[in-house]
Amino acid sequence: MTTVDLGMPGTRIAYGSGNLYEETPFPEHARAELKNTQMRANIGHATHTIRGKRARVVGELPDWQDLRDAGSAIKQEVGARLPELLEQFEANVTARGGVVHWARDAAEANRIVTDLVRAKGVEEVIKVKSMATQEIGLNEHLEGQGIKAHETDLAELIVQLGEDKPSHILVPAIHKNRDEIREIFSRRMPGTGKELTNEPAVLAEAARSYLREKFLDTTVAISGANFGIAETGTLTVVESEGNGRMCLTLPKTLITVMGVEKLLPRFSDLEVFTQLLPRSSTGERMNPYTSMWTGVTEGDGPEEFHLILLDNGRSAVLGDPAGRSALHCIRCSACLNVCPVYEHAGGHAYGSTYPGPIGAILSPQLTGVAAEQNNSLPYASSLCGRCYEVCPVKIDIPSILVHLRDEDIRTKHGQRDQAATQQRSTVIEARQAEAEAAGVTPEPAGHPAEAKKKKVPSEMDLLMKAAGTVMSSGTRMGLAERALPLGRGALKPFGGAKWLPGMVGGWTQERDIPVPPNQSFRNWWKNNGENTQQRVAEDLGDTQLAVSAGGEVPASSLAGEIHQHAAWGAEAQAVAKLRAERDQAEGATTKDSPATSTGEREGEQNA
Amino acid sequence: MSQSEAKATILSRINYALRDQPVAPQTPRAYRRSSSLGHAEVVDMLEDRLVDYKANVYREDASSLPGRIAELLADSVTILPDGLDSSWLPEGLSTVRDHNDDGAPLGARELDALGAVLTSSTVSCAETGTIFLNGAADEGRRALSLVPDHHVCVVPLDTVVELIPEAFERMDHQRPITMISGPSATSDIELERVEGVHGPRRLDVILFG
Ligand code: SF4
């Protein structure tokens, strides 16, 4: 865990640890995944199917937008009132016989769980699918402590037995087809024989018999939580298979790990979220089972209930007013299912527990934008805007992506050394300080690195200023990326300025090379993962940059498909462009403004 | 004590993160909170949604209910919650109650050996096809409606509402809540829906009244 001393005793910005980092840079990983045509086909099928189902059940509700508005407002309220709501929640859980623990980071949460399991003298536990426990790497940790954690969700079980990683929030084993699953089960699941076919019903039956024994005998269960109600201390788990009910009901001890942002103020707020979540997630009117419990109920369910409230970087996310709404996420995965980048790269390419558009904004914020493992993630998007439209709590993912790209550049733009100690300390102060420094501070003396930064030529500053405008529009971003080779040439004389890679080259993660990378995200896609100097050279010739989102690549190719997807957001981008121009004309600074106002984007897309 | 230290640290981080003092907005609740449909329409909607989930739906009144229950549960040993209305029960049904000879509730393996469970329900939401159990005496503890593979659930007509907010209004959060929308299901393998995984694979709903 990285902590940053802000010079205020006792107060630190603390980033998260655990499975939040990319092990392989996104582009490298994505390149490998792109070759996996089976996986691409599976994911394509899944995302398109769920997308269609979602659209149908959402269209059924006349008040869907009203529900989204309510959901968004409630989540904003949770952020604004978090300390008070957490205190209230703890008091209510405790009053009902639960024990509340607080975990500053992944290691602390893992330690608390391990101690609780040890105290029960057991070596096996059953688990409900939970992103929080995946984030902290609980299973691996327990394994190291000699405790076996059995995943009980069918998809998680497939992933666990296959010694694989989840690739989708909702359907984590979507990258495996029935033959692969049959093979994993017959190899790794005790008690399976020749009768095991590749029929989904047969495979599900095998899992049922295998897990039933675990449910009946295991005395400790571990779960996550979809919602926690401050006003009552009630916890909620949403699921389909009944494995959640088994884990929450049959064992003697229940341990729940919940991120602090999962709170809702009032019990009645559930009436909003139990409508938003299933329709956005599985595209059902309602998921088969939702369980709610408040502390311990005598004669019904576990006799002992422990709740672990997890920070692990969430407070750091909350500290950035422009990015904090990433914490509103209810993990429905709708944004994954509509994302052209996710569809083609797959969930594994994002590295972190949180894939897709939400992962691209959440992971880098949890770890800090300066964490090099994740600083390419904000570039893993074409800013087409579909993720925002489907998000049930209206998280403006494209704007946050742009904001984080901006942050990434700032981190690298000569402020890197400073950033290493101060991180973004937070954004507010950094910007204030920057503004003041730009106006009055004399040329810094002494530290050569400092001096060098200040000598960035004025052309650079102009470019930098332009970057704010450029990044406020997906179209312009594309143009800038195509202009990259130009920048590359221009930078060479200055010995490798470090900020440009942040703007367009984070994707390629060429941090050790002191000049910007020679290909950009979009170009990389165009070439289907092939590194083509040639194409870049062609781009260099095309300095008029009359790029349109669709069109120029035949639709039969993968790249063509991507561009067609991008065209989907073309109207939104057009609006963004107009708006940026208007703002500029009015003399407003567009540097920090989001891509479009939400209303405009929405209106345009629905038109 | 490191626990109170952890709490203090987290709260101080959060307070620091909120030093721009964001204001909590008023929640706009323009969404539908009360039904504008007639009751018969609402009941029809519930039936439609339940069938869509592959539950079996029957409509019975006080005179036909025991017969229907006899037919559905003829081949099973059925566990009954203690508070179940005995006027619903047919003669000759093979049943057990939720306690051993020594008065202790049945263990998980004992429940697993049973064929079915018969319960009532607290409220049902038509729009989503969701039955709410709320730990009432005629619903039993949660394990009863979970472990046996066949759940017969009686939904009294006066407990049927159209909307989710109307259903939540009738919930008591002090007791456990289980929302059931069809039999358990998974779509984890190639998104092909398989009805019935760990929860009861057969759900029979009797609309009663
Ligand atoms: S960001 Fe929105 S759409 Fe994406 S998973 Fe979270 S709640 Fe769902």
- State pLDDT tens for residues A556-567: 333 333 333 333
Angle at A536 between CA A530 and CA A538, to 5 degrees: 125
| Same domain for A246 and A298 | yes
Going from the Cα of B174 to the center of ligand 1, the distance in angstroms, rounded, reads 30
- Identify whether B3 is part of a domain: no
Mean pLDDT across the stretch A246-267? 97
Residues A574 and A510 in one domain: no
Mean pLDDT by 10 residues, chain B (209 residues): 84 94 96 97 98 96 97 96 96 93 91 96 98 97 96 98 98 97 84 84 96
* Same-domain status, A501 and A546: no
Do A90 and A239 share a domain, yes or no? yes
Region A226-253: mean pLDDT is 96
Question: Which ligand 1 atom lies nearest to the CA of residue A333?
Answer: 5
The pLDDT value recorded for residue A596 is 33
Write the CB contacts of A251 (distance below 8 Å, at least 6 apart in sequence): A126, A218, A219, A220, A221, A302
Residues A315 and A461 in one domain: no
pLDDT grade for A164, boundaries at 50, 70 and 90 = confident
Q: Is the CB of A222 under 6 A from ligand 1?
A: no
Kindly give the residue spans of alpha helices, DSSP state H, lying in A440-586.
Answer: 448-454, 458-470, 474-482, 484-491, 500, 521-526, 533-541, 558-568, 570-585
The answer to whether residue A207 sits within a structural domain is: yes
Pairing outcome for strands A148-151 and A220-223: unpaired
Q: Which residues of B touch A207 (CB under 8 A)?
A: 197
pLDDT exceeds 90 at position A480: no
Structural element, H or E, at residue B59: strand B56-60
d(CA A422, CA B111): 58
Residue B20 placed within a domain: no
**Cβ contacts of A265 within 8 Å, gap of 6 or more:** A74, A77, A78, A81, A85, A229, A230, A231
Report yes or no on B22 lying in a domain: no
Q: Same domain for A474 and A571?
A: no
- β pairing state of B202-208 and A98-103: unpaired
Highest mean pLDDT pick, A196-200, A275-279, A348-352, A451-455: A275-279
Domain count, chain B: 1
d(CA A238, CA A227): 9
The stretch A88-99 carries a mean pLDDT of: 98
Neighbouring-strand partners of residue A234: A229, A294
With cut-offs at 50, 70 and 90, classify the pLDDT of residue A574: very low
**pLDDT: is A427 or A231 the higher one?**
A231
Tokens of A278: 């299933």
Ligand 1 neighbourhood includes A395 CB (under 6 angstroms): yes
* Shortest-distance Cα residue to atom 7 of ligand 1: A329
- The verdict on A132 and A203 lying in the same domain is yes
Mutate to test the pocket of ligand 1, among A335, A342, A400, A598 (most ligand atoms within 8 A of CB): A335
Write down the pLDDT at residue A88: 98
Domain count, chain A: 3
pLDDT at A499 over 70: no
Q: Is residue B12 in some structural domain? A: no
Q: Which of A465, A495, A518 is the last residue of a domain?
A: A518
pLDDT the model gives residue A518: 34
Residues A163 and A257 in one domain: yes
pLDDT band at residue A375 under the 50/70/90 scheme? low
Q: Is residue B11 in some structural domain?
A: no
Residues in chain A with CB shorter than 8 Å from the CB of B199 are 241-242, 245, 288-289
Selecting from B13, B53, B135 the residue whose C-beta is nearest the C-beta of A14 gives B13
Ligand 1: nearest atom to the Cα of A334 = 3
Dump pLDDT digits (tens) for A104-126: 999 999 999 999 999 999 999 99
Least confident window among A60-69, A242-251, A484-493: A484-493
The better pLDDT of the pair B78, A29 is held by B78
Q: Could you tell me if residue A253 is inside a domain?
A: yes
> How many Å apart are CA A208 and CA B162, to the nearest integer?
34
**Given this model, what pLDDT does residue B102 score?**
87
Q: Is the beta carbon of A326 within 6 A of some atom in ligand 1?
A: no
A92 against A190, higher pLDDT: A92
pLDDT for A509: 27
Within chain B, how many helices (H) and strands (E) appear? 5, 12
Domain that holds residue B146: 35-208
Average of per-residue pLDDT across A54-76: 96
Which residues of B, range 117-146, sit inside 8 Å of A by Cβ? 125, 127-130, 135, 141-143, 146
Mean pLDDT, rounded, of chain A:
71
Helix (H) or strand (E) holding A344: helix A340-345
Query: What residue in A sits closest to B14 (Cα-Cα)?
Result: A315
Q: Kindly report the protein residue whose alpha carbon is nearest to atom 3 of ligand 1.
A: A391
Ranges A152-161, A236-245, A590-599: which has the least confidence: A590-599
Tell whether the torsion through CA atoms of A496, A500, A502 and A506 is positive or negative: negative
**A16 vs A140, which has greater pLDDT?**
A140
For every residue of A547-583, DSSP letters joined together read --SSSSS-TTSHHHHHHHHHHHTHHHHHHHHHHHHHH
- Whether A581 and A492 map to the same domain: the answer is no
Please report the DSSP string for A83-142 in residue order: HHHHHHHHHHHHHTTEEEEEESSHHHHHHHHHHHHHHTT-SEEEE---HHHHHTTHHHHH
Q: Is A54 in the pocket of ligand 1 (CB under 6 A)?
A: no
Question: What percentage of chain A has pLDDT greater than the value 90?
Answer: 38
Residue A547 lies in a domain: yes
Number of continuous H segments (helices) and E segments (strands) in chain A: 30, 12
DSSP state letters, B149-199: SEEEEEEEGGGEESSHHHHHHT--TTS-EEEE-SS-EE-TTTT--EE-SSS
- Residue A297, pLDDT > 60, answer yes
Q: How far is the CA of A347 from the centre of ligand 1 (A)?
A: 15
| Owner of token pair 């984030």 | A135
Cβ atoms of residues A181 and A156 within 8 Å:
no
In the prediction, which pLDDT does A481 show?
Answer: 38
- The ipTM (two decimal places) reads 0.96
The whole-number average pLDDT for the span A395-415 is 76
**Of A59-68, A502-511, B61-70, the least confident:** A502-511
Residue A184 carries which side chain, given as an amino acid letter?
Answer: I
First-last CA distance in chain B: 58
**Residue A305 identity:** F
Average pLDDT over residues A260-286: 96
Per-residue confidence band for A581, with pLDDT thresholds at 50, 70 and 90: low
- Are A581 and A461 in a shared domain? no
pLDDT tens, position by position, A528-549? 333 323 332 333 233 222 222 3
Within 10 angstroms of residue A541's Cβ, the number of other Cβ atoms is 8
Given this model, what pLDDT does residue A12 score?
56
For chains A and B, count residue pairs whose Cβ atoms are closer than 8 Å.
262
A331 in contact with ligand 1, CB cutoff 6 A? yes
pLDDT number for residue A44: 81
Q: What is the mean pLDDT of residues A152-156?
A: 89
Residue A265 covered by a domain: yes
Q: Does A173 touch chain B (CB under 8 A)?
A: yes
The answer to the question of residue A475 being in a domain is: yes
Could you give the CA distance from residue A188 to residue A454 in angstroms, rounded to a whole number?
Answer: 60
Cβ count within 10 A of residue A386: 23
Taking only the tens place, the pLDDT of each residue in A408-464 is 776 665 443 343 334 333 333 433 444 555 554 433 323 333 333 332 222 223 333
Residue B198 lies in a domain: yes
Q: Which residue has better confidence, A281 or A577?
A: A281
- Where residue A97 falls (left for φ over 0; alpha for ψ -120 to 50; beta otherwise) is left
Q: Is A64 left (phi over 0), alpha (psi -120 to 50) or beta?
A: alpha
pLDDT value of position A78: 98
> Tokens representing A550?
């669709």
Q: Which residues of chain A neighbour B169 with C-beta distances below 8 Å?
A: 268
Ligand 1 probe mutation, A131, A275, A333, A353, most atoms within 8 A of CB:
A333
- A332 CB under 6 A from ligand 1? yes
Q: Which pLDDT does position A27 carry in this prediction?
A: 61
A547 and A486 within one domain: no
pTM of this structure: 0.77
The whole domain housing A530 covers: 523-587
Residues of A in contact with B142 (CB under 8 A): 245, 248-249, 291, 300-301
Q: Which residue minimizes the CA distance to atom 4 of ligand 1? A: A335
User: A124-138, A218-232, A542-556 — which is least confidently predicted?
Assistant: A542-556
Instruction: Classify strands B194-195 and B123-125 as parallel, antiparallel or unpaired.
Output: unpaired
A422 lies in some domain: no
Is A553 domain-assigned?
Answer: yes
Kindly report the CATH number assigned to the domain that includes residue B157: 3.40.50.10420
Q: Do B189 and A76 touch (CB under 8 A)?
A: no
Task: Compare all CA atoms of chain A with the CA of B181 and give the residue at the minimum distance.
Answer: A288
Cβ contact A200–B190 (<8 Å): yes
Residue A387 lies in a domain: no
Q: Is B51 on the interface with A (CB under 8 A)?
A: no
- Claim to verify: residue A159 and residue A237 sit in the same structural domain: yes
Q: What confidence category does residue A68 fall into, taking pLDDT thresholds of 50, 70 and 90?
A: very high
